[in-house]
Amino acid sequence: MSKKVWIWLVALLLLGGFAVWIYLEIQSRGGEGKEVKKKSGGAAVAVEAVMPLRTSIEDRRIFTGTLKPWSQFDIAPKIGGRLEAINFDVGDRVTGGSVIAKIEDIEYKQSVDQAEADLEIAKAQLRQAEIMLDLRRREYDRQISLNEKKATSQAQLESAETAFHSQEASHRMQNAEVKRREAILDAAQLKFSECTIAAEWPASDRARFIGARHVDQGALLASNEPIVSVAELDPLRAFIYVIERDYPYLGIDQPATLTTDAYPDREFQGKVARIAQLMQDTTRQAAVQLEIPNPELKLKPGMFVRVQLQFKSKENATVVPRNAVVKRNGKQGVFTLDVKGGKAHFVPVETGITAGERIEILSPELRDPVVTLGNHLLTDDVSVLVPKQFLPPQPQVTK
């Protein structure tokens, strides 16, 4: 392809781009001209409007979380052995003091019997040592008396003293042996008692439920090997995570309303139980623990819940629909309706609480209707078609 052809192609591309730019510029200027035309008295814009309301408004936020048991733990034997019986299964209710399982106790019972026999022997030996100590003491006292009367030799006195002190040491040793045997018996009785695995909480306390069963009857267990998992279901707890902006509005015992897909038509009440004092570095969120009473046991751990917290509320506030608030030239405001003049005026406003489709207007005080539909087409002081509900009643013509 020759050099001239390339030049013509480049020239045509440049002319095409320039033509497109001119078209877009004309379109944009034409749009501005339409807005100006409307403002200067062109076709009036059809709008919908409502009067601002004086009512109460609440700032409620919704968070998500998962229900968890108030407490959950595994029950395991402190000793090893064969599982002789297990009295509860998944879903069963367990009250305080109930026997949950039993370990075969033959060997542990034999250990108790052996320890009791050894203790009896040690006690008998202690009694024998006490008798001998008494004899050695009396002999030593007699030798002292005779020595004072010069009726015995010094060697006999020293021999009686040595025998007394030797027996005294033997007595102490036998006394210690009794205590050692008592400790062995206590340990054997403790292990024997641990063959019976019971719910170690007061009978008057809230009931727990078996959440999982890990072994079957007849299994050979090691010490601390879990048998069942137990969960407390009333109350429940849930964790939600709150961002930095919402954190200042939290408080202990703050009411919370929960909903779940399992019961879509029912609300459950709870409260804030704990608030984390640290925010996570990665998410800038703080954990909040909720306490949810569950006397009917309708709610279950693992359920997904939506939690609604009320942060702020205000009585007798000026409220308008949320779609009435728009932005013009970087300012937030509403279009008020001049009913007599058939005009819409842009009024910058300061907003407060937002609740669903309603928003609070802090200032200025609004006395005229505000445009809720068609306001995206409006500019300040533009002509509008006043909705019928705001027009004065027409006099009836009599024939």
What pLDDT does 314 receive? Answer: 82
How far apart are the C-alpha atoms of 149 and 21, rounded to whole Å?
Answer: 143
CA angle 290, 296, 301 (to 5 degrees): 45
pLDDT of res. 118? 94
249: which DSSP letter? G
Q: Is the pTM of this model over 0.85?
A: no
State the virtual CA torsion across 145, 147, 149, 153 in degrees, nearest 10: 140
The mean pLDDT values, 10 residues at a time, for the chain of 399 residues are: 62 64 51 39 82 87 92 91 92 90 92 94 93 89 84 83 89 93 94 90 82 91 92 92 90 93 93 92 91 92 92 86 91 91 92 86 90 90 88 66
Are 95 and 203 a contacting pair, CB within 8 Å?
Answer: yes
> 63: Cβ–Cβ under 8 A, 6 or more apart, which residues?
240, 241, 242, 306, 307, 308, 309
User: Which H helix or E strand runs over 83?
Assistant: strand 81-86
User: Which pLDDT score, from 0 to 100, does residue 32 have?
Assistant: 38
- 54: phi then psi, degrees, rounded to nearest 5: -105, 105
